[in-house]
Structure 1
């Protein structure tokens, strides 16, 4: 997007400026513009994770610069379960890259910014580079992997695992999107290849791989001894086998060990700010102070409520998170730009950019002229108008709809291609549009036309589980506990077992169903299992494996939905007949609206929901 020098960027530490009158996706376009203009990385602070994810998708629509998120642990403070391995992998990758980041945008919610992190010296000191032709003993590599916290398994399925078979070593490095297969010839790496974790089939060859530690803290013998020493200095030691101290002493990392992370380091954990390059520009949206104070209060409340368990004594919040005053003290060390929705008072540090909300352009399918509001707006607006949709299919659908009011938008890839007073159509994730009065430009999104958020059609029909019932760690299960399998319904957890499939041994969860039927679920498919949340455990049903009780419940829901759609169509048809509105117009609008609106976005999670 061409820069018109409408505002000045802060450049010195402690220099603060504000930009006002921002609405809809204007914030995303502005951050993209800033990233193109600023010679250095831009750290965007969002009020919460939901806004961080939305901004990530929107900003990518408007810039070719790198846009990253620092993943949240997706656990509440002092939770008794650990983040998923994919989350840790994503975090380690981002933290490793951040100090050398030259351009681009890092988006981080306030609570993640307040979280203390491992020292960067730990990541760099424990990173390993392996190349084709490199001389490396397999035994030495296994020792390094064990020391870095990697788990030796029979079949590699997720991050932080490795497996050995003869001259082959399979490895899923933290920070990598795919696992690798190393083929050794004596003590030399003969080949490095990617492979598919689901099919175990070897893919293309690569020349080098980077290996990051498996955790955000060290797990070697020295680190374990340091943990034990600092635990004894801080807490009372219990002899119970389930006590955190005893488990770590035996080399077992209990669920939620991340909340004792400081005990694995000899120095206090540094803030995330210590990773920022010197030329970083900090940008924030929303009320930073309000969000920070709310998170601090929530953290303190969790500490006071959960700190009474002698088996899991807690470190004070200040050991794990910055206080609000510490957060703002750190912010003063960087140039900062605040983005506001309101009109700002006239001051040297303030600039109002004149973005306005769109008028009501919602398609009124029940009216005789459903697109009348949009047509009138387009006739009166003299500048370029860009329509934004989220997929190629919906681009086609909206194009056909606009053709009914004689609008033929030109397809573009970037916002800066809209130069003259034309009508344009692009693919992107922007939720709500705006009018840029200073540039005489309008952006119209699908939600502006349909009256609600619509999202990209998923590439498959995956379903998701209520996050409150997700089982994130095997330690959360006990024998006899009722659990729900996404495909097979309610059964009982019967423990773990080792089975051989395709010549490869693996760990499986054993679930029992009615008539003593058993279902074996790979540990890698733990995400398909959730806790039973339908009432008391003793009253939980026991479904028949392969029966129709579970599928019948789903069919009943789908039948109700189909009936609702049929009633809507009858209502629309009757209304059309009364007004003599052409069927094609009403059908097109109704079909588009119904199809798009039922594809509402679910909260994005880092966990893949793939069938086993």
Structure 2
């Protein structure tokens, strides 16, 4: 991406140059104050390019983490060197299978670090502190296959099962594999698409990605890495030790529940955990096995333990990190206590996360670190050796008023400022600048320095014969989420968000697609049929309040057959959909813990697979027919689309 040119400023602008010099000279903690959120990607990218060392960026929310990760690529950092490390806390709040793609993404980052890859890793604090398997375990539990090598099919299948993969007839989600003669399909946890491995005798003839919906090949590759499907690895020894610890805590929990005369909850947790223990004894993986990670891997290991010795830890807004972690921890503990009290999970004495304070303090004492903060706030647990203030501010919004944008750019140029327009439609922006009489140049095509006036006198002779451009307008093909002002450097970065009011799509999250999504309890009235994604069809019985450890929270009360009741926290309303069956035919209400819902979903899954086969045949027939060519999008159409005030849905993006 063409914003790589902006990284010149990191080494020529005195304040950013001082920050990089402090890092290179070994300062233990460099604090950079005054950086707006949108400017942090620029600073981190510059530090990574200059140091050539792995950087671990810890920030306060998922959204800020994905923003930084996206921005780094726009500053020219190769995509394979920007690694997003997502949180995996969903299983603490809800029942059902984990998101295998999240597990794969996490393991992919850990494997990259363990094999010495130099990269920028970005993570929200709850992901950074989440416990994981030891480094040695991951190193021993992965498989690399290459075209042309011999492969014992039976041994390979056995290895996949040991790594947590589930054998199915058709592969359609991460963590599954199927075998048909000399062909093995594997949906590797760290791959976007499933792999098809074809053998000729015992030799691997080809490895290719394919689309699980159409079964069509996407590309051929020569080698593939298969990481575990789960974030735990079962061995006989680890399972035996874990079972002993689990039984001890189960006995204590049953005794506690018996004391409250809640015999039903005691029976429920006893049956559930005993079933889990049976699976562990048999070496079988199951949906909620990650909850037992602290028992199977008792050492408190996190991603911090995977970082190389010379890694640089970057704390994005340290006080916000601590505040968000405390809120997350309080919410998590409340949920765990509530679910354990109802006999839904083991009241574990083992933490799912490593402790915040000791982990961060150890990271700061053992490695170099950089603290990024907008405001000059003292951080008691992070004393800076060097403090540098860079005056920056978020960019103003023009909300689609192109004339106002042009006027402001002319004003900036009149004050000898440099303007960079970072846009997803750079060609149209060049046309708009021309229409308003503003000379603009494509930053991507520029071959001369832009920020030479900041180069120190001792180095300026190196570029003395090189022409330079400054105090001009440049357009870059780089769809940043938002712009910023570097006041001291005299640089203004404007994006589509400020110009057109356009908001970019965020990373897709796992969502449910059945029924009508409920965005508010106002969408429901008492007595409505609802569908919980994990428990099936029940009645909505209104909002109720429950108190846990002195904290009162609101819950959706769902009633199932046999007067079974389920309390769904109000912040998990996305797990519930309104039932949309035919009128006059009331649905069958399920029992909590029963098998009817699982049978129903299995039956529907098979029906969908049959429908998919029919669609493949239909679309193959359509593709054989001739199509009608349409003209390319005009600049006016692109401008109109950019001004559209809403985010497109994933389906709309796919159709476009």
Q: Please give the TM-score of this superposition, normalised by the length of structure 2.
A: 0.68
Partner of 1:284: 315
Partner of 2:207: 192
Partner of 1:546: none
Query: Is the Cα contact below 8 Å between 2:59 and 2:65 reproduced in 1?
Result: yes
Query: Of 350, 354, 357, which aligns to 2:391?
Result: 354
TM-fit CA distance, 1:484: 11
TM-fit CA distance, 1:434: 2.4
Matched, 1:314 2:347: yes
Query: Of 247, 250, 264, which aligns to 2:276?
Result: 247
Residues 123-169 of structure 1 deviation map (CA, whole Å, 9 limit, x = unaligned): 11111122233333222222111121111111112221111112222
Matched, 1:437 2:487: yes
Distance 1:35 1:401, change over 3 A: same
Distance 1:197 1:414, change over 3 A: farther
For 1:416 and 1:255, locate their aligned partners in 2 and report how far apart those are by CA, in whole Å. 55
3-state DSSP of counterpart to 1:210:
strand
3-state DSSP of counterpart to 2:35:
coil
Distance 1:142 1:591, change over 3 A: closer
Partner of 1:600: 647
TM-fit CA distance, 1:590: 12
Partner of 1:26: 39
TM-fit CA distance, 1:339: 1.0
Partner of 1:504: none
Partner of 2:293: 261
TM-fit CA distance, 1:377: 2.3
Query: Is the Cα contact below 8 Å between 1:299 and 1:317 reproduced in 2?
Result: no
Partner of 2:180: 165
- What 5-or-longer segments of structure 2 have no aligned partner? 1-6, 255-265, 379-383, 451-468, 521-530, 541-573, 589-595, 613-634
TM-fit CA distance, 1:509: 4.0
Distance 1:326 1:348, change over 3 A: closer
Matched, 1:75 2:90: yes
Give the aligned CA root-mean-square deviation in angstroms: 4.2
3-state DSSP of counterpart to 2:53:
coil
Number of residue pairs the alignment of both structures matches: 517
3-state DSSP of counterpart to 2:160:
helix
For 1:277 and 1:227, locate their aligned partners in 2 and report how far apart those are by CA, in whole Å. 30
For 1:455 and 1:361, locate their aligned partners in 2 and report how far apart those are by CA, in whole Å. 16
Query: Is the Cα contact below 8 Å between 1:361 and 1:373 reproduced in 2?
Result: no
Query: Is the Cα contact below 8 Å between 1:82 and 1:258 reproduced in 2?
Result: no
TM-fit CA distance, 1:270: 1.1
Query: Is the Cα contact below 8 Å between 1:228 and 1:245 reproduced in 2?
Result: no
Residues 509-556 of structure 1 deviation map (CA, whole Å, 9 limit, x = unaligned): 439xxxxxxx9335999xxxxxxxxxxxxxxxxxxxxxxxxxxxxxxx
TM-fit CA distance, 1:244: 2.9
TM-fit CA distance, 1:437: 3.4
TM-fit CA distance, 1:338: 0.7
Query: Is the Cα contact below 8 Å between 1:431 and 1:447 reproduced in 2?
Result: yes
For 1:9 and 1:137, locate their aligned partners in 2 and report how far apart those are by CA, in whole Å. 54
Partner of 2:478: 428
Partner of 2:604: 510
Partner of 2:553: none
Query: Is the Cα contact below 8 Å between 2:173 and 2:187 reproduced in 1?
Result: yes
Partner of 2:416: 382
Matched, 1:127 2:142: yes
3-state DSSP of counterpart to 1:307:
helix
TM-fit CA distance, 1:357: 4.5
TM-fit CA distance, 1:91: 1.0
For 1:119 and 1:326, locate their aligned partners in 2 and report how far apart those are by CA, in whole Å. 16
Distance 1:364 1:239, change over 3 A: closer
Distance 1:206 1:255, change over 3 A: closer
Partner of 1:336: 369
TM-fit CA distance, 1:257: 3.0
For 1:183 and 1:372, locate their aligned partners in 2 and report how far apart those are by CA, in whole Å. 58
For 2:185 and 2:143, locate their aligned partners in 1 and report how far apart those are by CA, in whole Å. 16
Matched, 1:324 2:353: no
TM-fit CA distance, 1:199: 1.8
- What 5-or-longer segments of structure 1 have no aligned partner? 499-506, 512-518, 526-587
TM-fit CA distance, 1:202: 3.8
Partner of 1:297: 330
Query: Of 198, 223, 235, which aligns to 2:250?
Result: 235
Query: Is the Cα contact below 8 Å between 1:14 and 1:334 reproduced in 2?
Result: no
Residues 229-257 of structure 1 deviation map (CA, whole Å, 9 limit, x = unaligned): 22113322887685133134135655433
The more displaced of 232-241 and 209-218 is: 232-241
The more displaced of 154-163 and 350-359 is: 350-359
For 2:478 and 2:141, locate their aligned partners in 1 and report how far apart those are by CA, in whole Å. 39
Partner of 2:435: 404
Query: Is the Cα contact below 8 Å between 2:413 and 2:419 reproduced in 1?
Result: no
Distance 1:32 1:415, change over 3 A: farther
Residues 187-229 of structure 1 deviation map (CA, whole Å, 9 limit, x = unaligned): 4434333333222234544332222111011135554434322
For 1:372 and 1:319, locate their aligned partners in 2 and report how far apart those are by CA, in whole Å. 53
Query: Is the Cα contact below 8 Å between 1:117 and 1:271 reproduced in 2?
Result: yes
Query: Is the Cα contact below 8 Å between 2:28 and 2:385 reproduced in 1?
Result: no
For 1:490 and 1:398, locate their aligned partners in 2 and report how far apart those are by CA, in whole Å. 50
More helix by share: 2
Spell out the pairing of 1:470-549 with structure 2 (5 A cutoff).
476-478=534-536, 490=581, 508-510=602-604, 520-522=607-609
For 1:432 and 1:329, locate their aligned partners in 2 and report how far apart those are by CA, in whole Å. 34
Query: Is the Cα contact below 8 Å between 2:32 and 2:372 reproduced in 1?
Result: yes
Query: Is the Cα contact below 8 Å between 1:24 and 1:432 reproduced in 2?
Result: no
Partner of 2:18: 6
Query: Of 428, 447, 455, which aligns to 2:504?
Result: 455
Query: Of 6, 29, 38, which aligns to 1:16?
Result: 29
Distance 1:443 1:13, change over 3 A: closer
Q: Please give the TM-score of this superposition, normalised by the length of structure 1.
A: 0.73
Query: Is the Cα contact below 8 Å between 2:29 and 2:385 reproduced in 1?
Result: no
TM-fit CA distance, 1:273: 1.0
Partner of 1:44: 57
Query: Is the Cα contact below 8 Å between 2:34 and 2:376 reproduced in 1?
Result: yes
Partner of 1:118: 133
The more displaced of 488-497 and 274-283 is: 488-497
For 2:416 and 2:73, locate their aligned partners in 1 and report how far apart those are by CA, in whole Å. 27
